[in-house]
Amino acid sequence: MKSVNILTRKLKFSGVSKSRRNLLTTRKMNFFGVSKSRKDLLTTKKKGQLTLFMIIGLVILMLFLAMFYLISSIKESRLEKEARQTTESILATTTIQFFVSDCLKDLVEEGLLIIGRQGGYFYENQPGYEFPIAPNVYFEEDNVSYLIHPREGFYNVWWPCSSVHALNEPAYCRFSTETTDPNDIYPFGFSDPVLPSLRADRFSIKSQLSKYIEKDIRECANFTLLEQNFPGYNFSGGEIEVDINFGRTVAVFVTFPITMQFQDYEPIIDIQKFKAEIPVRFLKIYNLVEKLITKEAYVLNSVLMNESIVLLEDSPEIRLTMIENGFEDIFIVNDSFSKIDGKNYIFQFARKNRPPVLNYISRSPSYLYDINDKGKDIYDYLVIPGVYGLNEIVASIDATDPDEDFVYYSTESDEPEFSLTDIAPLSTFVINDSFIGYHNVTVIATDQDESDKQTVRLLVDRPLKPNATFYNPYGNSFYSIEDPFFFNATISEESLDPFADYIYMWFEYGGTYELETEHPCIIIPTGEECSEAQINIEDITGYAELPGTVSLKADLYYTELSQKEFADFKITKKQCVPYRADSDPYPYHTTADPFMANHSCCLGDINNPETWKLADTNVVCHEDFICVGAVGLKKRIRQVHCSGDRGNICDGSPPRYTDSDMCGCNAAEGGSCDGVKAFGLKNGEGWCYGNEGCEEFCESAVVDTNRNTQLDQGDACGCGDFDSTYKCDENFDGIFNGDCTIIGSCTEVFG
């Protein structure tokens, strides 16, 4: 019984223990579960607190930076405002105005003095320099510009003519005071106008003086001194503008942008304006000088000092003086109303010695035959020994010096008899027949150190006899009753002048034919002067025939000379002259003169007059293609036959018409096939095809689609995508050497 109790107690005990164990285990598990949640909660709370502190700190930092920036900006703005006020205060002071204004006045005065003493120019080593070359002469420590000097070139040859005459032979324009009044304006001039304009361009006096001021005005501002007086400030100048007014004074206006910057602050630009006015009447002086040198340049007899007396009649305060300086002259304009530093303002310029102007020496010069034919200009002076009045040289030598210098005369020649020194302006030399031929005698007019020369080309010609000549327009002397016929007097082989002419009378000894005329050349049948004759080719057959023998009484004519001489000649008559020309015969000709068209109806060898004869009516004298009467696109062939009674006219009637294969009537657009055969090629440019072979013009390759290698209606224009089996012709030479490709092109190679 006791054991049972013990067992029961054990069982109970064990049961209780298990339950408690389970309870303890559960509590323990609950305990551990509660502890983990609290740990997570504590960790989260710590992180939140840290983030909050960081945000608060960042806000405080940003507030601090904002306050610092605001304080700095206010401070910087205040400093910048103070800097700007200080800068503007500096600009407002008269320091820069004083520096620049005073210096500007000095610069203008210096520039005016230089321009005045140098004749309107600054030179290469001076600030206002603009000209690469300014011809000048040294005079009393000044380089004085030549405002009057000979034109550039070799004056002894073409002086005083235009330089274009340097290309001529001989190189002179035959100047003469007999034809050019020495008191009139000579367009070529006797010197180059080299006075700079006052204000017109970059080379003007205004431009030079402005440049002179611009280059030195920056130094007037003395920025270095300003920067020393105002530490921390930088000064610089901008682009300077200078304007100058020339009037009763010289007023100069300068616009000078000045930039100032304090340390790194925004720079300030201020436009400063300065003015200087100098009591110099430069405009009046300039106008005087311009008038003087202009007249000196273009009027041969102008005397500069005399001209100044007239120009200064109402301005006694201005004096002009001339000083000889070697071979040159210095002219000084002195104006007592213009002052610089209390002294009269002067403007001086130089006149370089110019050669004398020699009159053209001539008698019956050959250029008068035709002034436009240089080939006829072969001599200036004609002499004929044994002919009264023409057997001596009367040399009227005359020259005018544009600088009023004394002129000396001399001659030079390969012939000792023609070489003379210090000759009188009017000299006479008798010439005999030992001098027959061409001679050159150089006549020289010399002043101080310059000369004007003329090589007088002298023809000493022998007495001449005329020869009678007669000819038709076709280069032979046969007389045709249907063509013009010329009578002309020619110079004999003995003449040295190939251009001398005749005055003559044509007549028949013992007969009734007589034709007297003053013209050296006449035309038969009208008897008119050759150059004025108007002959109708259709009416020429109606004139009377010439006699078989014609005589000439002629006067040989140079200019004044007339020598009588007689000559006889025979005339050979022909029905026609077989003249050949590239032009079609009249009336289908293209020449201006119908007689010079092809004489298609005159047969025979032009070199064998015995074969010359008129063609009969079965000879075709003209053939062409026309559209008149054509129905389609092809022209008709027109054939005209000879009439049988004219050799120089194609007028058989009626014309005969036949069909042709020539395109041209309403052919391809633009007339591309006009004058091309149907289905033909045009000068390597293309191919005509389409209706009648004339309607269209193909500039692509010709494709031989019918494979017959012929140009015909079976061919096509341009290779297509499916024509790769066909031959083609792309260079339009009529040969199908190319192949069409699958991309529609032709492979033929040009060349």
CATH number at residue 547: 2.60.40
Higher pLDDT, 371 or 704: 704
Of 443, 460, 477, the domain-final residue: 460
Asked if residue 109 lies in contact with residue 278, where contact means CB atoms within 8 angstroms, the answer is: yes
**Any idea which of 36-50, 251-265, 333-347 has the lowest mean pLDDT?**
36-50
pLDDT tens-place string over residues 299-355: 888 888 888 888 888 888 999 999 998 888 999 999 999 999 999 999 999 999 888
CB 107 within 8 A of CB 212: yes
Q: Is 116 inside a domain boundary?
A: no
Residue 122 included in any domain: no
Calpha distance 509→713 (Å, rounded): 75
Query: What mean pLDDT comes out for the span 43-72?
Result: 60
Residue 17 reports pLDDT greater than 50: no
Q: Does some domain include residue 389?
A: yes
Give me the pLDDT at residue 551, please: 80
Whether residue 587 is contained in a domain is answered as no
The SS3 of residue 250 is strand
Which range has the top average pLDDT, 384-398, 493-507, 513-527, 683-697? Answer: 683-697
Helix (H) or strand (E) holding 56: helix 2-92
- Both 480 and 509 in one domain: the answer is yes
243 token code pair:
């304007």
* Mean pLDDT to the nearest integer, 713-722: 92
Is residue 628 domain-shared with residue 540, that is, in the same domain?
no
Same domain, residue pair 477 and 538: yes
Largest pairwise CA distance in the chain:
217
Asked, for residue 219, whether it belongs to a domain, the answer is no
Q: What is the mean pLDDT of the chain?
A: 80
Cα-based torsion angle of the residue sequence 97, 100, 101, 107 in order, rounded to the nearest 10 degrees: 180
Termini Cα distance of the chain: 145
404 in the same domain as 369: yes
pLDDT surpassing 80 at residue 749? no
Tell me how many domains the chain contains: 4
| Domain boundary pick from 647, 663, 679 | 663
Q: Which residue has the higher pLDDT, 14 or 682?
A: 682
Q: Is the pLDDT of residue 748 over 60?
A: yes
What single-letter amino acid sits at 361?
I
SS3 content of the chain, % helix, strand, coil (to 5): 25, 30, 45
Supply the pTM of this predicted model.
0.54
Q: Same structural domain for residues 544 and 609? A: no
Of the pLDDT bands very low, low, confident and very high (cuts 50, 70, 90), residue 42 is: very low
Return d(Cα 627, Cα 280) in angstroms, integer: 86
Q: Is residue 538 part of a domain?
A: yes
Residues 384 and 447 in one domain: yes
In 481-578, at which residue ranges do the beta strands (DSSP E only) sit?
485-491, 501-507, 514-517, 521-524, 528-529, 549-557, 562-570, 573-574
Q: What is the mean pLDDT of residues 179-198?
A: 78
Answer yes or no: is 280 within a domain. no
515 & 563 share domain: yes
Q: Judge if 471 and 565 occupy the same domain.
A: yes
Of 611, 644, 663, which residue sits at a domain end? 663
Q: Is it the case that residue 698 has pLDDT exceeding 70?
A: yes
Structural domain includes residue 621: yes
Which distant-in-sequence residues (6+ apart) come within 8 Å of 424 by Cβ?
Answer: 409
Q: For 396, what's the count of Cα atoms within 13 Å in the CB-facing half-sphere? A: 8
User: Based on the domain organization, do 402 and 362 belong to the same domain?
Assistant: yes
Angle 559-560-566 (CA atoms, 0-180°, nearest 5)? 90
554 and 540, same structural domain? yes
The domain of 34 spans 1-91
pLDDT (tens digit per residue) in 588-644 = 998 888 999 999 999 999 999 999 999 999 999 999 999 888 888 999 999 999 999
Q: Are residues 439 and 531 in the same domain?
A: no
Same domain, 403 and 443: yes
Asked if 376 and 454 touch (Cβ cutoff 8 Å), the reply is: no
- Are 234 and 58 in contact by the 8 Å Cβ rule? The answer is no
